[in-house]
A = this chain, B = another copy of it.
Amino acid sequence: MSKYSSKWLKVSEPSPYVLHVELARAPVNAFSTEFWTAYGKLFDSLVEDGVDCRALVVSSAFPKIFTAGLDLNDANSLGGNGVDTSRDSARASFATRNEMIRFQRAVGAPERAPFPVIVAVHGHVIGLGVDMISVCDIRYAASNSSFAIKEVDIGLAPDIGSLAFLPKITGNHSLIRELTYTARTFSAAEAEKIGLLSKVVEGGRDEVVKAALELAKFIATKSPVAVSGSKHLITHSRDHSVPENLAYTGAWNAAALMTKDISENLRATKKRDAARFAALKIPSKL
């Protein structure tokens, strides 16, 4: 999998069907346009190439921090991207909006992947870091983690995902609004209280990455048709009413239930054997 590694992204395969993506832009994983573009492309490439990944873990490569968020030294990072804004405010706004949508699509890439993405954080998780983890399927945090929805302190409303996701994926709007308006730091315990995390792992980077990789390894033993379909349907459920989701699920599973993974599971159970599933290979690369 090292062929997917790039300047600031280390990709390894610690166990079969499990990928580990490490953010590695020293010193604090600050995200420049180039960095988040590469981040989004990595996920889209894995999907387009039909890599047989069944669970993926995202973490930082550094011992002290997950990410400091946006790289404010990147000239392009606040939407300009080289547009000469002196000419016309409306044209500048259109360009900014376009850039924002590209940014949202890059950071949102984990949602488009057919496999679960588990994010394992420790240390500081600032600004863009909260957008990034909100998009992932499952969030594990080391007990030494601290979070901040930092955008208000720059002078803008978070626009890459936090506000779109948090009110739906957690269970306390009062606290979400407080954390957003104040941009204050909050602990792993408080993150757990609002329902942002599956688990707080005692310790730091090593402990939380270990726990996440074990979870990924376990998920990778399951039917990819079942796991991938579940991911897709939970995302659909989040964005639609109960009757709409039930109807969509009916159309979806009409196809999915023809999988041989069901008989393979029955066979494995009967033989007390490990089930072996074919890849969910979707060759969309031309």
* Partner-B contacts on A (CB < 8 A): 33, 37, 55, 72, 78-79, 81-83, 87-102, 104, 108, 114, 116, 137-139, 151-159, 161, 163-178, 180-184, 194-198, 215, 218-219, 222-223, 225-234, 237-243, 245-266, 278, 280-284, 286
Contact = CB atoms under 8 A, between A and B. Distances in A.
Given A98-B284, A225-B94, A278-B88, A178 B198 contact: yes
A156 B254 CA distance: 11
B246 A177 contact: no
B181 A246 contact: no
Contact of A256 (B93, B227, B231, B238): B93
A234 B180 contact: yes
26 contacts: A33-B286, A55-B181, A82-B283, A87-B278, A88-B259, A89-B89, A93-B258, A94-B256, A94-B280, A94-B282, A152-B226, A155-B223, A155-B259, A155-B262, A157-B229, A157-B232, A157-B249, A158-B230, A168-B173, A169-B172, A171-B195, A174-B195, A177-B231, A178-B198, A195-B195, A239-B243
A22 B11 CA distance: 44
B176 A78 contact: no
User: Main secondary structure on chain A at its contact with chain B?
Assistant: helix
Nearest to A177: B137
A72 B96 CA distance: 29
Q: Please give the count of copies of this chain that the complex contains.
A: 6
Contacts of A108: 246
B167 A238 contact: yes
Contacts of A156: 223, 225-226, 229, 253, 256-257, 259, 262
A51 to B, nearest CB: 14
A227 to B, nearest CB: 5
Nearest to A157: B229
A91 to B, nearest CB: 6
A106 B83 CA distance: 28
Contacts of A238: 167, 173, 241-242
Contacts of A92: 258
Contacts of A215: 178, 182
Most chain B Cβ neighbours within 10 Å, of A78, A156, A166: A156
B178 A138 contact: yes
B168 A237 contact: yes
A98 B232 CA distance: 13
A248 B250 contact: no
Contact of A163 (B166, B228, B234): B234
